[in-house]
Structure 1
Amino acid sequence: MTALRLDIIRLGVRTRRAGETLALVDAVDLTLQAGEVLALVGASGSGKSLTCAAALDVLPPGTWREGGTVALEGVTRTGAELRGRHVATILQNPRSAFNPVRTMRAHAEETLRALGVERARWDGLVASALSDAGLADGSAGEAERILSLHPFEMSGGMLQRMMIALALLTGAPFLFADEPTTDLDLVVQREILDLLDRLKASRGLGILLVTHDMGVVARLADRVAVMEAGRIVETGPVMDLFHRPSHSATRRLVHAHLSLYGLEPAS
Protein backbone atom coordinates (compact mmCIF):
# COMPACT_ATOMS: atom_id res chain seq x y z
CA MET A 1 0.00 0.00 0.00
CA THR A 2 1.39 3.41 -1.03
CA ALA A 3 1.80 5.97 1.77
CA LEU A 4 -0.21 9.18 1.65
CA ARG A 5 1.85 11.88 -0.10
CA LEU A 6 2.04 15.66 0.15
CA ASP A 7 3.79 17.52 -2.68
CA ILE A 8 5.03 21.10 -2.65
CA ILE A 9 5.62 22.03 -6.28
CA ARG A 10 7.59 25.02 -7.65
CA LEU A 11 6.71 27.18 -4.65
CA GLY A 12 7.88 30.79 -4.60
CA VAL A 13 7.77 33.62 -2.08
CA ARG A 14 8.45 37.26 -2.93
CA THR A 15 8.87 40.57 -1.13
CA ARG A 16 9.50 44.16 -2.15
CA ARG A 17 12.51 46.15 -0.98
CA ALA A 18 13.57 49.58 -2.19
CA GLY A 19 11.04 49.32 -4.99
CA GLU A 20 12.37 45.99 -6.25
CA THR A 21 10.75 42.56 -6.06
CA LEU A 22 13.03 39.99 -4.44
CA ALA A 23 12.75 36.20 -4.37
CA LEU A 24 12.89 34.81 -0.83
CA VAL A 25 11.89 31.28 -1.85
CA ASP A 26 12.40 30.22 -5.44
CA ALA A 27 10.79 27.23 -7.18
CA VAL A 28 10.95 24.86 -4.22
CA ASP A 29 9.94 21.23 -4.75
CA LEU A 30 9.41 18.91 -1.76
CA THR A 31 7.66 15.58 -1.31
CA LEU A 32 6.62 14.31 2.13
CA GLN A 33 5.13 10.89 2.74
CA ALA A 34 3.13 9.72 5.73
CA GLY A 35 5.33 7.74 8.14
CA GLU A 36 8.58 9.60 7.42
CA VAL A 37 10.49 12.60 8.72
CA LEU A 38 11.80 14.98 6.07
CA ALA A 39 14.22 17.53 7.56
CA LEU A 40 14.35 20.90 5.84
CA VAL A 41 17.71 22.36 6.86
CA GLY A 42 19.78 25.42 6.12
CA ALA A 43 21.29 28.49 7.67
CA SER A 44 19.09 31.13 9.28
CA GLY A 45 17.35 33.18 6.61
CA SER A 46 17.61 30.49 3.93
CA GLY A 47 13.81 30.30 3.50
CA LYS A 48 12.86 27.23 5.53
CA SER A 49 10.07 28.71 7.64
CA LEU A 50 8.79 30.82 4.74
CA THR A 51 8.41 27.66 2.66
CA CYS A 52 6.15 26.10 5.29
CA ALA A 53 4.19 29.32 5.75
CA ALA A 54 3.68 29.69 2.01
CA ALA A 55 2.50 26.09 1.66
CA LEU A 56 -0.24 26.80 4.23
CA ASP A 57 -0.97 30.38 3.05
CA VAL A 58 0.06 32.00 6.34
CA LEU A 59 2.90 34.22 5.14
CA PRO A 60 3.84 37.29 7.20
CA PRO A 61 2.88 40.79 6.05
CA GLY A 62 5.05 42.18 3.29
CA THR A 63 5.56 38.80 1.60
CA TRP A 64 3.42 36.90 -0.85
CA ARG A 65 3.31 33.56 -2.57
CA GLU A 66 4.11 33.69 -6.25
CA GLY A 67 3.56 30.50 -8.19
CA GLY A 68 3.58 26.98 -7.00
CA THR A 69 1.00 24.48 -5.82
CA VAL A 70 0.54 22.10 -2.90
CA ALA A 71 -1.06 18.75 -3.70
CA LEU A 72 -2.39 15.97 -1.50
CA GLU A 73 -2.35 12.66 -3.36
CA GLY A 74 -2.10 14.58 -6.63
CA VAL A 75 -5.06 16.87 -5.87
CA THR A 76 -4.20 20.59 -5.56
CA ARG A 77 -5.25 22.05 -2.21
CA THR A 78 -5.37 25.58 -0.83
CA GLY A 79 -3.73 26.45 2.44
CA ALA A 80 -7.15 26.84 4.06
CA GLU A 81 -8.05 23.31 2.99
CA LEU A 82 -4.81 21.91 4.38
CA ARG A 83 -4.49 23.78 7.69
CA GLY A 84 -5.68 21.81 10.68
CA ARG A 85 -7.26 19.07 8.60
CA HIS A 86 -4.46 17.57 6.57
CA VAL A 87 -1.50 19.46 8.03
CA ALA A 88 -1.02 20.42 11.69
CA THR A 89 1.71 22.76 12.87
CA ILE A 90 3.91 23.12 15.95
CA LEU A 91 6.10 26.15 16.47
CA GLN A 92 9.49 27.12 17.86
CA ASN A 93 8.17 29.09 20.83
CA PRO A 94 5.11 27.29 22.22
CA ARG A 95 4.42 30.01 24.79
CA SER A 96 3.57 32.47 22.03
CA ALA A 97 0.97 30.06 20.58
CA PHE A 98 -1.32 30.02 23.63
CA ASN A 99 -3.75 32.61 24.93
CA PRO A 100 -2.36 33.36 28.41
CA VAL A 101 -5.78 33.83 30.03
CA ARG A 102 -7.33 30.61 28.75
CA THR A 103 -6.89 27.10 30.12
CA MET A 104 -5.63 24.11 28.19
CA ARG A 105 -9.21 22.80 28.16
CA ALA A 106 -10.36 25.96 26.41
CA HIS A 107 -7.61 25.60 23.79
CA ALA A 108 -8.50 21.94 23.17
CA GLU A 109 -12.22 22.69 22.91
CA GLU A 110 -11.56 25.56 20.51
CA THR A 111 -9.60 23.18 18.26
CA LEU A 112 -12.33 20.55 18.25
CA ARG A 113 -15.07 23.12 17.71
CA ALA A 114 -13.23 24.62 14.74
CA LEU A 115 -12.94 21.16 13.20
CA GLY A 116 -16.65 20.48 13.67
CA VAL A 117 -16.11 17.40 15.86
CA GLU A 118 -19.27 16.26 17.61
CA ARG A 119 -19.32 17.09 21.33
CA ALA A 120 -19.80 13.48 22.43
CA ARG A 121 -16.32 12.59 21.12
CA TRP A 122 -14.39 15.43 22.77
CA ASP A 123 -13.44 13.82 26.08
CA GLY A 124 -12.15 10.63 24.48
CA LEU A 125 -10.15 12.46 21.82
CA VAL A 126 -8.59 14.85 24.33
CA ALA A 127 -7.66 12.06 26.73
CA SER A 128 -6.03 10.08 23.90
CA ALA A 129 -4.10 13.11 22.62
CA LEU A 130 -2.81 14.02 26.08
CA SER A 131 -1.71 10.44 26.69
CA ASP A 132 0.03 10.15 23.31
CA ALA A 133 1.79 13.48 23.89
CA GLY A 134 3.10 12.25 27.24
CA LEU A 135 1.11 14.79 29.28
CA ALA A 136 -1.18 12.37 31.11
CA ASP A 137 -0.88 8.78 32.24
CA GLY A 138 -4.31 7.81 30.96
CA SER A 139 -6.10 8.55 34.24
CA ALA A 140 -9.01 10.97 34.23
CA GLY A 141 -7.59 12.83 37.22
CA GLU A 142 -4.26 13.60 35.57
CA ALA A 143 -5.95 14.72 32.34
CA GLU A 144 -8.25 17.03 34.32
CA ARG A 145 -5.26 18.54 36.12
CA ILE A 146 -3.47 19.33 32.86
CA LEU A 147 -6.59 20.73 31.23
CA SER A 148 -7.17 23.11 34.15
CA LEU A 149 -3.76 24.77 33.76
CA HIS A 150 -3.05 28.14 32.16
CA PRO A 151 0.07 28.62 30.00
CA PHE A 152 1.97 30.47 32.75
CA GLU A 153 1.55 27.43 35.00
CA MET A 154 3.37 25.15 32.56
CA SER A 155 7.01 24.72 31.58
CA GLY A 156 8.22 25.17 28.02
CA GLY A 157 8.44 21.41 27.60
CA MET A 158 4.87 20.92 28.83
CA LEU A 159 3.61 23.61 26.47
CA GLN A 160 5.40 21.99 23.53
CA ARG A 161 3.78 18.68 24.44
CA MET A 162 0.43 20.43 24.68
CA MET A 163 0.94 21.94 21.23
CA ILE A 164 1.67 18.44 19.94
CA ALA A 165 -1.48 17.17 21.67
CA LEU A 166 -3.54 19.88 19.94
CA ALA A 167 -1.98 18.84 16.62
CA LEU A 168 -2.97 15.23 17.32
CA LEU A 169 -6.55 16.33 18.03
CA THR A 170 -6.88 17.38 14.40
CA GLY A 171 -6.17 13.87 13.15
CA ALA A 172 -4.04 15.41 10.39
CA PRO A 173 -1.69 12.91 8.72
CA PHE A 174 1.07 15.51 8.29
CA LEU A 175 2.85 17.72 10.81
CA PHE A 176 5.00 20.77 10.09
CA ALA A 177 7.40 21.17 13.04
CA ASP A 178 9.26 24.48 12.84
CA GLU A 179 12.34 24.38 15.11
CA PRO A 180 10.36 22.48 17.77
CA THR A 181 13.25 22.09 20.24
CA THR A 182 15.19 25.34 19.92
CA ASP A 183 13.90 27.00 23.10
CA LEU A 184 14.08 23.87 25.27
CA ASP A 185 16.87 22.54 27.48
CA LEU A 186 18.81 19.50 26.31
CA VAL A 187 16.91 16.92 28.37
CA VAL A 188 13.53 18.21 27.19
CA GLN A 189 14.82 18.45 23.61
CA ARG A 190 15.63 14.74 23.71
CA GLU A 191 12.20 13.94 25.15
CA ILE A 192 10.39 15.92 22.46
CA LEU A 193 12.43 14.28 19.68
CA ASP A 194 11.71 10.84 21.16
CA LEU A 195 8.02 11.76 21.26
CA LEU A 196 7.95 12.82 17.61
CA ASP A 197 9.74 9.61 16.66
CA ARG A 198 7.15 7.53 18.53
CA LEU A 199 4.27 9.42 16.90
CA LYS A 200 5.76 8.84 13.46
CA ALA A 201 5.68 5.11 14.19
CA SER A 202 2.43 4.83 16.13
CA ARG A 203 0.29 7.28 14.18
CA GLY A 204 2.08 7.13 10.83
CA LEU A 205 2.65 10.89 10.80
CA GLY A 206 4.57 12.49 7.98
CA ILE A 207 6.71 15.18 9.63
CA LEU A 208 8.35 18.11 7.86
CA LEU A 209 11.01 19.10 10.39
CA VAL A 210 12.41 22.60 9.94
CA THR A 211 15.76 22.98 11.69
CA HIS A 212 19.30 24.28 11.48
CA ASP A 213 20.51 21.72 14.05
CA MET A 214 22.19 18.80 12.33
CA GLY A 215 22.15 16.85 15.61
CA VAL A 216 18.35 16.93 15.48
CA VAL A 217 18.52 15.84 11.85
CA ALA A 218 20.76 12.87 12.68
CA ARG A 219 18.47 11.83 15.53
CA LEU A 220 15.10 12.03 13.77
CA ALA A 221 15.19 12.45 10.00
CA ASP A 222 14.80 9.83 7.29
CA ARG A 223 15.51 12.22 4.43
CA VAL A 224 17.00 15.71 4.23
CA ALA A 225 16.45 18.69 1.93
CA VAL A 226 19.06 21.45 2.16
CA MET A 227 18.12 25.07 1.45
CA GLU A 228 20.40 27.95 0.56
CA ALA A 229 19.23 31.41 -0.51
CA GLY A 230 15.67 30.22 -1.01
CA ARG A 231 16.45 27.19 -3.14
CA ILE A 232 16.70 23.46 -2.50
CA VAL A 233 20.31 22.63 -3.35
CA GLU A 234 20.53 19.00 -2.26
CA THR A 235 18.22 16.19 -1.12
CA GLY A 236 18.83 12.63 -0.05
CA PRO A 237 18.74 10.03 2.71
CA VAL A 238 20.07 11.38 5.99
CA MET A 239 23.17 9.18 6.16
CA ASP A 240 24.12 10.01 2.57
CA LEU A 241 24.13 13.71 3.34
CA PHE A 242 26.23 13.23 6.45
CA HIS A 243 28.78 10.93 4.83
CA ARG A 244 28.74 12.10 1.21
CA PRO A 245 27.50 15.71 1.05
CA SER A 246 27.79 17.02 -2.49
CA HIS A 247 26.81 20.70 -2.21
CA SER A 248 28.96 23.28 -0.47
CA ALA A 249 26.03 24.38 1.74
CA THR A 250 25.56 20.82 2.99
CA ARG A 251 29.28 20.41 3.60
CA ARG A 252 29.31 23.60 5.68
CA LEU A 253 26.40 22.40 7.82
CA VAL A 254 27.97 18.98 8.38
CA HIS A 255 31.39 20.48 9.07
CA ALA A 256 29.94 22.93 11.61
CA HIS A 257 28.07 20.12 13.36
CA LEU A 258 31.08 17.79 13.55
CA SER A 259 33.42 20.56 14.67
CA LEU A 260 31.29 21.09 17.78
CA TYR A 261 32.39 17.65 18.90
CA GLY A 262 36.01 17.93 17.80
CA LEU A 263 35.45 15.60 14.87
CA GLU A 264 36.75 15.93 11.33
CA PRO A 265 34.23 15.61 8.47
CA ALA A 266 34.71 12.96 5.81
CA SER A 267 36.88 14.18 2.98
Structure 2
Amino acid sequence: MTQPQTLAIENLCICARREGQDIQLVRELSLTLERGEILALVGGSGSGKSMTCAGAQDVLPPGVYRRAGRVLVDGSDVAPKSLRGRTVATVLQNPRSAFNPLRTIFDHAREVRRVARADAAEDRAATIAALSDTGLDEPERALALYPFEMSGGMLQRAMIALALLSGAPFLFADEPTTDLDLVVQARILDLLEGLVANRGLGILLVSHDMGVVARLATRVAVMQEGQVVEEGSVERIFSAPQHAVTRELVAAHLALYAGESA
Protein backbone atom coordinates (compact mmCIF):
# COMPACT_ATOMS: atom_id res chain seq x y z
CA MET A 1 0.00 0.00 0.00
CA THR A 2 1.29 3.47 -0.92
CA GLN A 3 1.94 5.71 2.05
CA PRO A 4 0.21 9.11 2.08
CA GLN A 5 2.42 12.06 1.23
CA THR A 6 0.50 15.08 2.52
CA LEU A 7 -1.42 15.90 5.69
CA ALA A 8 -3.43 19.13 5.71
CA ILE A 9 -5.34 20.81 8.54
CA GLU A 10 -7.94 23.23 7.21
CA ASN A 11 -9.79 26.00 9.07
CA LEU A 12 -9.40 24.40 12.49
CA CYS A 13 -11.38 26.20 15.20
CA ILE A 14 -11.16 25.03 18.82
CA CYS A 15 -13.21 26.48 21.66
CA ALA A 16 -13.56 26.10 25.41
CA ARG A 17 -16.82 26.56 27.26
CA ARG A 18 -16.23 28.79 30.29
CA GLU A 19 -18.88 30.39 32.47
CA GLY A 20 -21.49 29.97 29.76
CA GLN A 21 -19.35 31.50 27.03
CA ASP A 22 -17.31 30.03 24.17
CA ILE A 23 -13.67 31.10 24.25
CA GLN A 24 -11.75 30.59 21.01
CA LEU A 25 -8.42 28.85 21.56
CA VAL A 26 -7.54 28.16 17.91
CA ARG A 27 -8.96 30.31 15.09
CA GLU A 28 -9.34 29.14 11.48
CA LEU A 29 -5.91 27.54 11.45
CA SER A 30 -4.63 25.88 8.28
CA LEU A 31 -1.35 23.99 7.87
CA THR A 32 0.05 21.52 5.36
CA LEU A 33 2.71 18.96 6.26
CA GLU A 34 4.61 17.00 3.61
CA ARG A 35 6.50 13.74 3.97
CA GLY A 36 10.24 14.32 4.32
CA GLU A 37 10.01 17.72 6.01
CA ILE A 38 9.93 19.17 9.52
CA LEU A 39 7.35 21.91 9.99
CA ALA A 40 7.96 23.78 13.25
CA LEU A 41 4.96 25.28 15.02
CA VAL A 42 6.21 28.03 17.33
CA GLY A 43 4.78 30.76 19.53
CA GLY A 44 4.45 31.84 23.12
CA SER A 45 2.86 29.80 25.88
CA GLY A 46 -0.89 29.59 25.38
CA SER A 47 -0.73 30.50 21.69
CA GLY A 48 -2.48 27.24 20.73
CA LYS A 49 0.39 25.06 19.48
CA SER A 50 -0.35 21.93 21.49
CA MET A 51 -4.09 22.48 21.18
CA THR A 52 -3.71 22.39 17.40
CA CYS A 53 -2.06 18.95 17.55
CA ALA A 54 -4.73 17.67 19.94
CA GLY A 55 -7.61 19.10 17.92
CA ALA A 56 -6.37 17.60 14.68
CA GLN A 57 -6.62 14.15 16.30
CA ASP A 58 -9.73 14.66 18.45
CA VAL A 59 -7.89 14.23 21.76
CA LEU A 60 -8.94 17.52 23.35
CA PRO A 61 -9.23 17.87 27.14
CA PRO A 62 -12.62 17.96 28.87
CA GLY A 63 -14.51 21.18 28.27
CA VAL A 64 -12.69 21.87 25.01
CA TYR A 65 -14.17 21.03 21.62
CA ARG A 66 -13.49 21.37 17.90
CA ARG A 67 -16.09 23.74 16.48
CA ALA A 68 -14.94 23.57 12.87
CA GLY A 69 -12.20 22.32 10.61
CA ARG A 70 -11.17 19.20 8.81
CA VAL A 71 -8.10 17.07 8.14
CA LEU A 72 -7.15 15.98 4.63
CA VAL A 73 -4.78 13.14 3.79
CA ASP A 74 -3.60 13.39 0.19
CA GLY A 75 -6.61 15.60 -0.47
CA SER A 76 -9.20 13.24 1.02
CA ASP A 77 -11.26 14.19 4.07
CA VAL A 78 -10.39 11.96 7.05
CA ALA A 79 -12.04 11.71 10.46
CA PRO A 80 -9.51 13.08 12.99
CA LYS A 81 -9.86 10.15 15.38
CA SER A 82 -8.95 7.71 12.60
CA LEU A 83 -5.53 9.36 12.25
CA ARG A 84 -4.25 8.27 15.64
CA GLY A 85 -1.70 5.50 15.56
CA ARG A 86 -2.23 4.89 11.85
CA THR A 87 -1.48 8.06 9.90
CA VAL A 88 -0.13 10.13 12.79
CA ALA A 89 2.02 9.05 15.73
CA THR A 90 2.64 11.39 18.65
CA VAL A 91 5.65 12.06 20.86
CA LEU A 92 4.96 14.11 24.00
CA GLN A 93 7.19 16.34 26.10
CA ASN A 94 6.62 14.28 29.25
CA PRO A 95 7.03 10.65 28.21
CA ARG A 96 6.00 9.33 31.63
CA SER A 97 2.48 10.64 31.03
CA ALA A 98 2.19 8.51 27.89
CA PHE A 99 2.97 5.11 29.41
CA ASN A 100 0.90 2.83 31.63
CA PRO A 101 3.17 2.33 34.66
CA LEU A 102 1.80 -1.20 35.18
CA ARG A 103 2.76 -2.45 31.73
CA THR A 104 6.17 -3.23 30.27
CA ILE A 105 7.62 -1.60 27.18
CA PHE A 106 6.92 -4.79 25.25
CA ASP A 107 3.26 -4.70 26.37
CA HIS A 108 2.99 -1.20 24.94
CA ALA A 109 4.71 -2.28 21.73
CA ARG A 110 2.35 -5.22 21.21
CA GLU A 111 -0.65 -2.92 21.61
CA VAL A 112 0.74 -0.55 18.98
CA ARG A 113 1.32 -3.40 16.56
CA ARG A 114 -2.21 -4.72 17.11
CA VAL A 115 -3.61 -1.34 16.10
CA ALA A 116 -1.30 -1.42 13.06
CA ARG A 117 -2.58 -4.94 12.25
CA ALA A 118 0.97 -6.28 12.22
CA ASP A 119 1.90 -9.97 12.48
CA ALA A 120 1.95 -10.85 16.20
CA ALA A 121 4.57 -13.53 15.57
CA GLU A 122 7.04 -10.80 14.67
CA ASP A 123 6.28 -8.51 17.63
CA ARG A 124 9.44 -9.25 19.56
CA ALA A 125 11.86 -8.94 16.65
CA ALA A 126 10.15 -5.79 15.33
CA THR A 127 10.21 -4.14 18.77
CA ILE A 128 13.88 -4.91 19.32
CA ALA A 129 14.66 -3.48 15.88
CA ALA A 130 12.69 -0.28 16.56
CA LEU A 131 14.31 0.22 19.98
CA SER A 132 17.71 -0.35 18.39
CA ASP A 133 16.92 2.16 15.63
CA THR A 134 16.30 4.83 18.27
CA GLY A 135 19.71 4.19 19.79
CA LEU A 136 18.45 2.62 23.00
CA ASP A 137 21.16 0.55 24.68
CA GLU A 138 20.41 -3.14 25.27
CA PRO A 139 17.07 -3.13 23.43
CA GLU A 140 16.31 -6.76 24.34
CA ARG A 141 16.63 -5.96 28.03
CA ALA A 142 14.38 -2.90 27.61
CA LEU A 143 11.45 -5.10 26.54
CA ALA A 144 10.86 -6.26 30.10
CA LEU A 145 11.32 -2.87 31.76
CA TYR A 146 8.50 -0.87 33.28
CA PRO A 147 8.39 2.90 32.65
CA PHE A 148 9.47 3.73 36.20
CA GLU A 149 12.65 1.72 35.64
CA MET A 150 13.75 3.96 32.76
CA SER A 151 15.18 7.48 32.61
CA GLY A 152 13.41 10.30 30.79
CA GLY A 153 15.75 9.99 27.84
CA MET A 154 15.21 6.23 27.62
CA LEU A 155 11.44 6.69 27.74
CA GLN A 156 11.55 9.33 25.03
CA ARG A 157 13.47 6.92 22.80
CA ALA A 158 10.97 4.18 23.65
CA MET A 159 8.09 6.49 22.69
CA ILE A 160 9.74 7.24 19.36
CA ALA A 161 10.25 3.50 18.85
CA LEU A 162 6.51 2.97 19.38
CA ALA A 163 5.87 5.65 16.76
CA LEU A 164 8.08 3.72 14.33
CA LEU A 165 6.25 0.48 15.10
CA SER A 166 2.94 2.12 14.21
CA GLY A 167 4.17 2.64 10.66
CA ALA A 168 2.57 6.10 10.66
CA PRO A 169 4.03 8.35 7.95
CA PHE A 170 3.58 11.52 10.05
CA LEU A 171 4.80 12.35 13.54
CA PHE A 172 3.53 15.10 15.85
CA ALA A 173 6.38 15.92 18.26
CA ASP A 174 5.14 18.20 21.03
CA GLU A 175 8.14 19.74 22.83
CA PRO A 176 9.98 16.39 22.65
CA THR A 177 13.16 17.57 24.41
CA THR A 178 11.84 19.97 27.06
CA ASP A 179 12.40 17.80 30.14
CA LEU A 180 15.73 16.31 29.04
CA ASP A 181 19.28 17.37 29.81
CA LEU A 182 21.33 18.99 27.04
CA VAL A 183 23.24 15.85 26.05
CA VAL A 184 20.08 13.75 25.77
CA GLN A 185 18.31 16.61 23.96
CA ALA A 186 21.00 16.64 21.29
CA ARG A 187 20.70 12.88 20.81
CA ILE A 188 16.90 13.05 20.46
CA LEU A 189 17.21 15.85 17.91
CA ASP A 190 19.75 13.81 15.94
CA LEU A 191 17.32 10.91 16.05
CA LEU A 192 14.38 12.96 14.74
CA GLU A 193 16.54 14.42 11.98
CA GLY A 194 17.61 10.92 10.99
CA LEU A 195 14.02 9.66 10.85
CA VAL A 196 13.19 12.33 8.28
CA ALA A 197 16.31 11.65 6.23
CA ASN A 198 16.17 7.84 6.37
CA ARG A 199 12.45 7.05 6.62
CA GLY A 200 10.88 10.07 4.97
CA LEU A 201 8.65 10.92 7.92
CA GLY A 202 6.84 14.23 7.97
CA ILE A 203 7.21 15.83 11.40
CA LEU A 204 5.11 18.59 12.94
CA LEU A 205 7.44 19.90 15.63
CA VAL A 206 5.91 21.99 18.41
CA SER A 207 8.64 23.96 20.13
CA HIS A 208 9.35 27.14 22.05
CA ASP A 209 13.09 26.72 21.49
CA MET A 210 14.14 28.66 18.40
CA GLY A 211 17.56 27.00 18.55
CA VAL A 212 15.89 23.63 18.00
CA VAL A 213 13.81 25.15 15.21
CA ALA A 214 16.86 26.66 13.49
CA ARG A 215 18.61 23.31 13.59
CA LEU A 216 15.81 20.99 12.50
CA ALA A 217 12.99 22.76 10.72
CA THR A 218 12.37 22.98 7.01
CA ARG A 219 9.52 25.46 7.42
CA VAL A 220 8.15 27.47 10.34
CA ALA A 221 4.62 28.54 11.26
CA VAL A 222 4.32 31.18 13.99
CA MET A 223 1.23 31.31 16.23
CA GLN A 224 -0.26 34.09 18.31
CA GLU A 225 -3.58 33.92 20.16
CA GLY A 226 -4.68 30.79 18.31
CA GLN A 227 -3.82 31.99 14.81
CA VAL A 228 -0.94 31.45 12.42
CA VAL A 229 0.43 34.95 11.88
CA GLU A 230 3.43 34.09 9.73
CA GLU A 231 4.72 31.10 7.80
CA GLY A 232 7.82 30.56 5.69
CA SER A 233 11.06 28.68 5.20
CA VAL A 234 13.34 28.49 8.21
CA GLU A 235 15.92 30.60 6.39
CA ARG A 236 13.40 33.36 5.65
CA ILE A 237 11.89 33.35 9.13
CA PHE A 238 15.29 33.84 10.75
CA SER A 239 16.76 36.27 8.21
CA ALA A 240 13.71 38.43 7.50
CA PRO A 241 10.90 37.93 10.03
CA GLN A 242 7.82 39.98 9.14
CA HIS A 243 5.42 39.78 12.08
CA ALA A 244 6.17 41.43 15.42
CA VAL A 245 5.81 38.12 17.28
CA THR A 246 8.25 36.41 14.91
CA ARG A 247 10.74 39.25 15.31
CA GLU A 248 10.49 38.95 19.10
CA LEU A 249 11.08 35.20 19.02
CA VAL A 250 14.09 35.51 16.71
CA ALA A 251 15.53 38.47 18.66
CA ALA A 252 15.23 36.58 21.95
CA HIS A 253 16.99 33.58 20.43
CA LEU A 254 19.81 35.71 19.01
CA ALA A 255 20.24 37.56 22.31
CA LEU A 256 20.48 34.27 24.19
CA TYR A 257 22.92 32.90 21.64
CA ALA A 258 25.07 36.04 21.87
CA GLY A 259 25.04 35.80 25.65
CA GLU A 260 26.17 32.18 25.58
CA SER A 261 28.97 33.07 23.11
CA ALA A 262 30.25 35.99 25.15
Is the TM value for this pair above 0.5? yes
- Deviation, 1:55, is 0.3
Pairing 1:50–2:46 present: no
Q: Which residue of 1 aligns with 2:35?
A: 34
- TM-score under structure 2 length normalisation: 0.95
- Deviation, 1:169, is 0.3
Among candidates 197, 217, 234, match of residue 230 of structure 2: 234
Q: Which residue of 1 aligns with 2:119?
A: 118
Pairing 1:192–2:188 present: yes
- Deviation, 1:259, is 1.2
- Deviation, 1:106, is 1.0
User: How far apart, in 2, do the equivalents of 1:102 and 1:119 lie?
Assistant: 18
Check whether the contact 2:211–2:253 (CA below 8 A) recurs between aligned residues.
yes
- Deviation, 1:162, is 0.1
Pairing 1:247–2:243 present: yes
Alpha-carbon deviations, 1:109-168, whole Å to 9, x = none?
A: 1211233222122233212211211114xxxxx332011111111110000000000000
- Deviation, 1:21, is 1.1
Q: Which residue of 2 aligns with 1:98?
A: 99
Q: Which residue of 1 aligns with 2:83?
A: 82
Alpha-carbon deviations, 1:186-245, whole Å to 9, x = none?
A: 111110000000010111000000011101101110000000000000000001101100
User: How far apart, in 1, do the equivalents of 2:199 and 2:258 lie?
Assistant: 37
User: How far apart, in 1, do the equivalents of 2:240 and 2:59 lie?
Assistant: 35
Q: Which residue of 1 aligns with 2:209?
A: 213
User: How far apart, in 2, do the equivalents of 1:3 and 1:251 lie?
Assistant: 35
Name the SS of the counterpart of 1:116 in structure 2: coil
- Deviation, 1:3, is 7.7
Check whether the contact 1:3–1:35 (CA below 8 A) recurs between aligned residues.
no
Among candidates 240, 250, 254, match of residue 258 of structure 1: 254
Structure 2 unaligned spans of 5+: none
Pairing 1:147–2:143 present: yes
User: How far apart, in 2, do the equivalents of 1:80 and 1:100 lie?
Assistant: 25
Amino acid at match of 1:174: F
User: How far apart, in 2, do the equivalents of 1:250 and 1:213 lie?
Assistant: 13
Check whether the contact 1:87–1:174 (CA below 8 A) recurs between aligned residues.
yes
Check whether the contact 2:26–2:226 (CA below 8 A) recurs between aligned residues.
yes
Among candidates 168, 175, 196, match of residue 171 of structure 2: 175
Amino acid at match of 2:65: W
Equivalent residue pairs, number: 257
Name the SS of the counterpart of 1:260 in structure 2: helix
- Deviation, 1:101, is 2.0
Amino acid at match of 2:201: L
Check whether the contact 2:174–2:206 (CA below 8 A) recurs between aligned residues.
yes
Alpha-carbon deviations, 1:67-108, whole Å to 9, x = none?
A: 111000001111221110000000010011111122111111
Stretch deviating more after TM superposition (13-22 or 218-227): 13-22
Check whether the contact 1:129–1:165 (CA below 8 A) recurs between aligned residues.
yes
User: How far apart, in 2, do the equivalents of 1:17 and 1:157 lie?
Assistant: 37
User: How far apart, in 2, do the equivalents of 1:143 and 1:258 lie?
Assistant: 39
User: How far apart, in 1, do the equivalents of 2:124 and 2:4 lie?
Assistant: 30
Q: CA RMSD in A?
A: 1.4
Stretch deviating more after TM superposition (142-151 or 115-124): 115-124
Name the SS of the counterpart of 2:68 in structure 1: coil
- Deviation, 1:17, is 2.1
User: How far apart, in 1, do the equivalents of 2:194 and 2:204 lie?
Assistant: 15
Alpha-carbon deviations, 1:3-39, whole Å to 9, x = none?
A: 8110000001011223221110000010000000000
- TM-score under structure 1 length normalisation: 0.93
Percent identity, aligned pairs only? 61
Amino acid at match of 1:224: V
